[in-house]
Amino acid sequence: MSQLAGNVFIVVAPSGAGKTSLVAALLKAEPAVQLSVSYSTRPARKGEMDGQHYHFINRQAFQAMIEQGDFLEYAEVYGNYYGTSASWIRSCLAEGRDVLLEIDWQGALQVQKVFPGAITIFIMPPSIEELERRLRGRATDGEDVICRRLAVARLEIAKIAECDYIVVNDDFERACVDLISIVRASRLNSKTQYLRLTTVLAKMGIAG
């Protein structure tokens, strides 16, 4: 099957916007979508599992993967490295499976260079004030980190017009429906469906 038979969904959001929870709800509703598990040099947080949330590796191992060309994209965020496996994504797309990436803007731009048809979705907080409230409510970061995250959030929000879709996470249930609707509609566009229905169309005498 053509590599284009699978979609690449890129979900971008400021820290604290609720991206992780929304993506988890999407994957539960659409189990056929494959989540790309990134590699990271940051320590695992409480409750995180290696291979499920991230592939946790040290900086030396990460650097070795860079030199071997293993990453589709990688970036340094808040002093830690994050990267996406290129070979795994290509194998999924070749089989017609959809792949979802949770990455930052820098990574999204790198992915789009390789997969220009990637669908970008920005998870928007209802306000900076609400974003700050959520960040402080997590009680996982110090004041300097929170201030840095808010500054980065403003820069990220300034780029939302570059995304294909924007989901405002004000009401979680409504935001879930919006995100799921985007994925389902994208999978039903004529170009994607035509590729996926090649065998069916051939049996009808309709050549690709």
Kindly list the distances between the CA atom of residue 106 and the CA atoms of 12, 64, 111, 190, 191, in Å, as whole numbers in the listed order. 10, 21, 9, 30, 28
The arithmetic mean of pLDDT across residues 140-160, rounded, is 89
CATH code for the domain in which residue 121 is found: 3.40.50.300
Does residue 161 sit within a domain?
Answer: yes
Do residues 81 and 38 make contact, with C-beta atoms less than 8 angstroms apart?
no
Does residue 181 sit within a domain?
Answer: yes
Q: How many domains does the chain have?
A: 1
Domain membership of residue 13 as a residue range: 3-36+98-203
Q: Which letter does DSSP use for residue 196 in this model?
A: H
Does residue 44 sit within a domain?
Answer: no
Q: Give the confidence band of 2 by pLDDT, cuts at 50, 70, 90.
A: very low
Closest CA to 80 of 37, 43, 38, 135: 43
Does residue 17 sit within a domain?
Answer: yes
Does residue 187 sit within a domain?
Answer: yes
Amino acid code (one letter) for 188:
L
- Residues 61-72 have pLDDT tens digits of 999 999 988 888
Distance CA 164, CA 178 (A): 13
Does residue 103 sit within a domain?
Answer: yes
Do residues 40 and 57 make contact, with C-beta atoms less than 8 angstroms apart?
yes
Mean pLDDT of the chain: 88
Q: Which letter does DSSP use for residue 38 in this model?
A: -
Q: What is the pLDDT of residue 92?
A: 85
Q: What is the pLDDT of residue 158?
A: 92
Does residue 74 sit within a domain?
Answer: no
Per-residue pLDDT at 28 exceeds 60: yes
Does residue 128 sit within a domain?
Answer: yes
Closest CA to 184 of 10, 35, 7: 7
Q: What is the pLDDT of residue 5?
A: 66
Q: Hey, is 60 helix, strand or coil?
A: helix
